[in-house]
Structure 1
Amino acid sequence: MSTTTVVRPSIWSRLPLVRQLAQSVGWQRGMLVAGLVIIVVFLLTAALAPILAPYRFDQLRDANGTFGAQLPPGGAHLLGTTVGGYDVLSRVIWGAQTAVLVIVVAVILSIFAGVLLGLVSGYFGGWLDRVLVVICDAIYAFPSLLLAIVMSIVLSGGKSSLSFGILAAAISITVVFIPQYFRVIRSETVRIKAEAFVESAKVIGASNARVMFRHVLRNSTRTLPLILTLNASEAILTLAGLGFLGFGIEPTSAAEWGFDLNKSISDVAAGIWWTSIFPGTAIVLVVLGITLVGESLNDLADPRLRTRHRAIASSATPTEVDELEEAL
C-alpha cells in the first residue's frame, strides 16, 4: 500500500507579494519588481530620514552661517538650496517621511470607514442602504481635489502644524477614498450574503455580527489590495496638490513636496531648475512605483490576463492562448 506525501508550501511562499511574484512572468514580473524596488527605497528613505538628510527640513544655517537662497547644486548642498534658503536634498528626504505618514493614516481611516459602511449597507439593505448609497455617490461624483481642499480648510484653515496638519491632510484624503471602498465592499456583500454558506450560518443561529465579520467580510476583501495601491498613489498626488495650492503643511512644521514645487514656480523662468526638478521627480517616481505594483497585482488577480502573460512568455501561439482562456 503506497502512501502519498503532501508537500505543503512554506510560509514564505504563501506571503501575498511573494506569491504574486512567483506567478508573474515576463514584463509583468519586471513591472512588479521595479515597482517594489521603488517602494522599498521610498519607505527606507522615509524611515531613515533623520540619518540620510544632511540637515533638518527647517534648517536655514549651520556653523558657517546661513545657507543662502537659490544656491546651485554642489559643495555642502548637493542639490542646491531653495528660494527660502532650505537645503533641497534635506527637504526631499524629509518629504518622503511626511508622505508616508499621510498615506498610512489616510488609507487606514478610509479602509476602516469604507469597509464598515459598505458591509453594513450591503448586509442589511433597506432605507439605510439607500441613504448611504446616495451620500457616497454624491461624494464620489464631486471633484476629489476640490473636496480635499474644502475639507482641509474646514479642518485646519488651510495650514497647520505637523501633527494636526498630517491628520487634516489624511482626513481630507480619507473623505475622497471612502466611497471607493464602500462601493466595492457593498457589491461584494450583496453577492456573498445570498450564498449557501451564509444562509447555513443563519439557520444554525449565528448572530448578524458573526455572519457579517466572520463569513461575509473575510470573503469580500480580496480586491482591497488593488484599491489600496491605487489609492496610495492618488494620496501622494492629492497631498502634493494641496501643498502646491497653499493648503498644505507649514514649511517650518514639515517638508512637503507640493509646497516646495509651489515656491519654485518663479525659479523656473529664471533658469533655476534644481528647486523644482528634484521634488517633482520624487513625486513622479513614488507614484510610478506604486502604480506599477497596482497594475501588476490587477493583472495577476485576473485569471485571463495571468494566463495570457504566461502563455506569451512561453512562446505559445495565439490559438493556444485562446484555448487556455476558454478553459478558465
Structure 2
Amino acid sequence: MAEIPTPTTPGPDAPARRPSRWRRLPVVRQLQQSVGLQRGMLVAGLVISAVFLLAALLAPLLAPYGFSQLRSGDRPFGAQQPPSAEHLLGTTVGGYDVLSRVVWGSRTALLVIIVAVAASIVLGVVIGLLSGYFGGWLDRVLVVVADAVYAFPSLLLAIVMAIVISGGQSDMWGGILAAALSITVIFIPQYFRVVRAETLRIKAEPFVESARVIGASHRRIMGRHVLRNATRSLPLIVTLNASEAILTLAGLGFLGFGIEPTEAAEWGYDLNKALSDVTSGIWWTSVFPGVAIVLVVLGLTLVGESLNDLADPRLRTRRAAAGMPEPMAGAPVVPGGALDAGPAGLSGLEPTEGDPR
C-alpha cells in the first residue's frame, strides 16, 4: 500500500513563493500594503470610482429616459417639476429629467477623461523621454515651452482651445474632442516634467551605460531600459489628472463653452442653467449635478492621494507582521544555548573556587 505523502512546512532557507498575478496588480498591491486610515481612504475612493465607472458604462440601462428626452409618450415632462415617482430627482428648467441627465453625464465625463489622459500621456511621455535622453538645445527649448504652458491659467487656456477647436459649442463628439484636447494641452507639461526628470536620473545608471558599451541603439535603450523605469509613477498622476479633467470640463460647460444639451448630457451645463432656480427655491436642478461632480472628484482624488502616500516610503505606514512569534528572552549568546540552559545554570558560566578558569 502506497504511503500518502504528508505536507511539509518550508524551512527558513526555502525560496519565497512568488505572489499571484492578481496580487501583483498595481491597485491590488497597494491595497494590501495599506492599513488604517490609508486603507479606508483607498477603499472609499475605489468604491466611488467604481460606481462612477458602472454608471457611465451602463447609462442606457440605468437612466429612465434619454438625456435629451422631453416627453413620455404624448405628455411632456414639464419644466422644474419637483421630485416624484415619475421623476425621482425632478426635472430641469428645460424640461429634462434630472436623474437621466446625471447618469448620462457620467458617460460624457468618462469619455473626456479617457481621450484627454490618453492623449496627454502619449505626447508628454514621448516629449519628456526625448528631452531628458538627448538633452542639449532640444531639452532647453522643450523646457521653456512646457514652463510657459504650465504657468498659463489652466481654465483660461482650456477656454481658448475650446473656442479655437469648436467655436465654443458643437455636437457630442466635437464637444468631447474639443474639451479633451483643451485639457490635454494642460496635462502635457505635467507628464513631460515627470518623465524628463526620471529619464535624466535613469540614463546615468550603470545598466544604461552597459547597454551603450555593447552597442545598443538609442531607440532600444529608450524603449527597453529608460521608458519602462521612467513611467512607474504615472498611474499616480493619472488619477489626479482624471479628477482635474472633470473639473475643467464642468468649468467649460458652466461658462457656456461645453456641449449642446441636445447632443450629450454635461454636468457643468446643467449647473449653469440651474443658477436662476436657486433663488426661486428650486434646489433639485442644481444639487444633484453638483453632488455628482463633488463625489466623482472626491473618489478619484482619494485614490490618487492614497496611491501617492503608499508609493512614498516616508509616508507609507508598514503593516505589522501578523503571526510572528515574540522574541524569546533567553537568546543564545554562547555556544551551547541560552544562559539558563547550561548544566549548572548561570553558576556554570562563572568561575568558582578551585576552578582553573
Equivalent residue letter for 1:306: R
Q: Tell me how far 1:64 sits from its aligned partner.
A: 4.2
Match among 117, 133, 138 for residue 128 of structure 1: 138
* Contact 2:251–2:268 (Cα < 8 Å) also in 1: yes
* Contact 2:33–2:319 (Cα < 8 Å) also in 1: no
* Secondary structure, counterpart of 1:231 in structure 2: helix
Structure-to-structure mapping, 1:153-232, within 5 angstroms: 153-232=163-242
* Contact 2:35–2:318 (Cα < 8 Å) also in 1: no
Q: Tell me how far 1:86 sits from its aligned partner.
A: 0.3
Match among 223, 232, 254 for residue 244 of structure 1: 254
Task: Verify: 1:47 aligned to 2:75, yes or no.
Answer: no
Give distance in 1, aligned partners of 2:309 and 2:137: 37
Greater helix share, structure number: 1
Give distance in 2, aligned partners of 1:251 and 1:36: 30
Q: Indicate the residue corresponding to 2:341 in structure 1.
A: none
* Contact 1:145–1:241 (Cα < 8 Å) also in 2: yes
* Contact 2:121–2:188 (Cα < 8 Å) also in 1: yes
* Secondary structure, counterpart of 2:81 in structure 1: coil
Question: What is the CA deviation profile of residues 263-289 of structure 1, one whole-angstrom value per residue up to 9, with x for unaligned ones?
Answer: 000000000000000000000000000
Q: Tell me how far 1:2 sits from its aligned partner.
A: 10
Q: Indicate the residue corresponding to 2:34 in structure 1.
A: 24
Q: Indicate the residue corresponding to 1:319 in structure 2.
A: none
Structure-to-structure mapping, 1:86-97, within 5 angstroms: 86-97=96-107
Match among 143, 148, 169 for residue 138 of structure 1: 148
Task: Verify: 1:100 aligned to 2:110, yes or no.
Answer: yes
Give distance in 1, aligned partners of 2:287 and 2:318: 39
Q: Which runs of 5+ in 1 are unaligned?
A: 312-328
Give distance in 1, aligned partners of 2:275 and 2:318: 46
Task: Verify: 1:82 aligned to 2:92, yes or no.
Answer: yes
Question: What is the CA deviation profile of residues 61-87 of structure 1, one whole-angstrom value per residue up to 9, with x for unaligned ones?
Answer: 111411100000012110000000000
Question: What is the CA deviation profile of residues 232-252 of structure 1, one whole-angstrom value per residue up to 9, with x for unaligned ones?
Answer: 000000000000000000000
* Secondary structure, counterpart of 1:205 in structure 2: coil
Give distance in 2, aligned partners of 1:154 and 1:310: 55
Give the greater-gyration-radius structure (CA).
2
Kindly report structure 1 stretches of 4+ aligned residues shifted beyond 2 Å. Answer: 1-6, 307-311
Question: What is the CA deviation profile of residues 159-207 of structure 1, one whole-angstrom value per residue up to 9, with x for unaligned ones?
Answer: 0011111111100000000000000100110111111110110111111
Equivalent residue letter for 2:276: S
Task: Verify: 1:58 aligned to 2:58, yes or no.
Answer: no
Give distance in 1, aligned partners of 2:18 and 2:184: 40
Match among 298, 301, 310 for residue 300 of structure 1: 310
Equivalent residue letter for 1:298: N
* Contact 1:25–1:310 (Cα < 8 Å) also in 2: no
Give distance in 2, aligned partners of 1:2 and 1:97: 52
Q: Tell me how far 1:307 sits from its aligned partner.
A: 3.3
* Secondary structure, counterpart of 1:14 in structure 2: coil
Equivalent residue letter for 2:88: L
* Secondary structure, counterpart of 2:23 in structure 1: helix
Q: Which runs of 5+ in 2 are unaligned?
A: 1-10, 322-357
Q: Tell me how far 1:37 sits from its aligned partner.
A: 0.2
TM-score, normalised to structure 2, is: 0.85
Q: Tell me how far 1:138 sits from its aligned partner.
A: 0.2
Structure-to-structure mapping, 1:259-298, within 5 angstroms: 259-298=269-308
